[in-house]
Amino acid sequence: MQWTALIIVVVPEVVLGMVGPIRSGSAMSWLTAAGALLASVIQPLVGALSDRSTHRSGRRRPYMVAGVFGTALTLAAMGFAHRFAMFLMWYLLLQVFANLASAPYSALIPDVVPFEQRGVASGYMGLMSQAAIIGGVLVPSFVSVRTTFLILAMLQVIGLAVTVWGVPEVPLVQSPPRRDWRSFLSNFWISPHQHGDWWWVFLTRILVMLGFSTLEYYLYYYLHFVQHLANPNPELDRALIAVTLASLLSVLTAGWLSDKLKRRKIMVIAGGLVMGLAALGFVLTSSLLMVTVFSLVFGLGYGTYLSTDWALAVDVLPPTGDAAKDMGLWSISQTLAQSVATAAAGLFLGLAVIHWGNALAYRGLFVITFVYFVLGSLLVTRVKKVR
């Protein structure tokens, strides 16, 4: 809910107001790229530290508590920023605290879910993520930017309380063997020769997330410049609610089917290709009705991909027993994609807007997302050990 509200609605609106329409696309690109790059470093590092933690409250909880309270305070401060440089500083600090919490949190599901239920668990995780998107787009539509930041801070604390009190965690009784920094850092390397499937899943997710991140970060500007909406928020709400409702139809079904049929790859491929077709639809249409239709199509693909992609990643994890570190490495596929997508989009828009104008530039950007989705889907066929 936090990242939906910030990335899709609040941050583009704030940046547009601070730097103006000419610089907004580039400024948004560099802000989000820097934040994603920071997240790529923090998640696996904090995850590895939590794997080895012997704190009496559990391996994951100390990091989640510190990260969430830091996140809440930073969100509250962002509402009072009036200059882009100050807003950028708070945004990067938010990335530090948010990933301090999310790295160990992402390991809770591998910690507690048995192998035969990973598809269903992935579906439930996708279901809740999609349900949160509705709140993430509605809150900024009914309250001010400053109030949105305060509401998101409060929801972070509530989510932490539910997790800490509702998810049992057994502390690590025996301390892992001591490691020097060289051996600690070498543990982050996953051999492509021994774990080639993991690398193919990692690469294909990067490609799909390149497409998703580009659509996510620039949908506001697409509606503003291509569909010529002075206030994109109402249409943005409709589009994202359409994505969410459609994804709810597919997210649990696809996860259950992937467990039942033991066919993860075909679900991942189908989901990615459907998202690609919807992205191409955005390029070709000038109708707001068709924007909603393509949003529904995108949601069906996204729900299918979301509910099986996580399960496929867990299936190909190296058998190290370091779930948080491994999931942190896997999460780099998303954060790295955000960095590359926004940096590439910033460079593309910087040139295209000058020569083509805003409308054609953003249509061209969405053509690039179509290519991302198609490549990321078809290369999943290179995964050999999972059906």
Residue pLDDT, tens place only, 118-138: 667 777 777 787 778 778 888
Spatial distance between the Cα atoms of 211 and 365, rounded to a whole number of angstroms? 10
Q: What is the pLDDT of residue 45?
A: 83
Spatial distance between the Cα atoms of 154 and 145, rounded to a whole number of angstroms? 15
Supply 372's token pair.
């991302």
Q: What is the pLDDT of residue 183?
A: 64
Interval 228-239 mean pLDDT:
87
Q: Which residues contact 45 (CB under 8 A, 6 or more apart)?
A: 103, 328
Supply 377's token pair.
């889907």
Percent composition of the chain: helix, strand, coil (DSSP 3-state, to 5): 80, 0, 20
pLDDT per residue as tens digits for the range 160-219: 999 989 888 877 766 666 666 666 566 666 777 777 888 888 899 899 999 988 988 888
- Domain presence at residue 186: no
Place of tokens 């995108």: 298
Q: 3-state DSSP call for residue 320?
A: coil
pLDDT per residue as tens digits for the range 69-112: 999 999 999 989 888 889 999 999 999 999 899 888 877 777 77
Q: Which residues contact 361 (CB under 8 A, 6 or more apart)?
A: 225, 348, 349, 352, 353
CB 221 within 8 A of CB 25: yes
Q: What is the pLDDT of residue 24?
A: 79
Supply 292's token pair.
């909603």
E-strand ranges in the chain read: none
pLDDT category at 367 given cuts 50, 70, 90 is very high
- Domain presence at residue 323: yes
The count of domains in the chain is 1
CATH number at 89 reads 1.20.1250.20
Q: Structural domain of residue 161, as residue ranges?
A: 2-165+192-382
Higher pLDDT pick, 142 / 374: 374
Spatial distance between the Cα atoms of 285 and 222, rounded to a whole number of angstroms? 12
Q: What is the pLDDT of residue 181?
A: 60
Interval 125-153 mean pLDDT:
86
| Cβ neighbours around 89 below 10 Å, total | 15
By percentage, how much of the chain surpasses pLDDT 70? Answer: 91
Residue 261 predicted with pLDDT over 90 = no
Q: What is the pLDDT of residue 178?
A: 66
Closest by CA position to 316, among listed 169, 176, 172, 110: 110
Higher pLDDT pick, 116 / 186: 116
pLDDT per residue as tens digits for the range 295-342: 999 999 988 888 777 777 777 776 665 666 666 677 777 777 877 888
Question: Rounded to the nearest 5 degrees, what angle is found at the Cα of 318, between the Cα atoms of 313 and 324?
Answer: 70
Supply 229's token pair.
């909406």
- Domain presence at residue 387: no
- Domain presence at residue 126: yes
CB 232 within 8 A of CB 241: no
Q: What is the pLDDT of residue 213?
A: 86
Interval 257-280 mean pLDDT:
85
Residue 228 predicted with pLDDT over 80 = yes
- Domain presence at residue 131: yes
Q: What is the pLDDT of residue 321?
A: 58
Q: What is the pLDDT of residue 193?
A: 77
- Domain presence at residue 174: no
Mean pLDDT of the chain: 84
Spatial distance between the Cα atoms of 8 and 238, rounded to a whole number of angstroms? 13
Spatial distance between the Cα atoms of 191 and 198, rounded to a whole number of angstroms? 9
- Domain presence at residue 148: yes
| Cα–Cα distance list, 281 to 157, 222, 236, 363 (Å) | 39, 13, 16, 10
Supply 130's token pair.
């999609």
**Which range has highest mean pLDDT (30-39, 125-134, 370-379)?**
370-379
CB 218 within 8 A of CB 369: no
- Domain presence at residue 321: yes
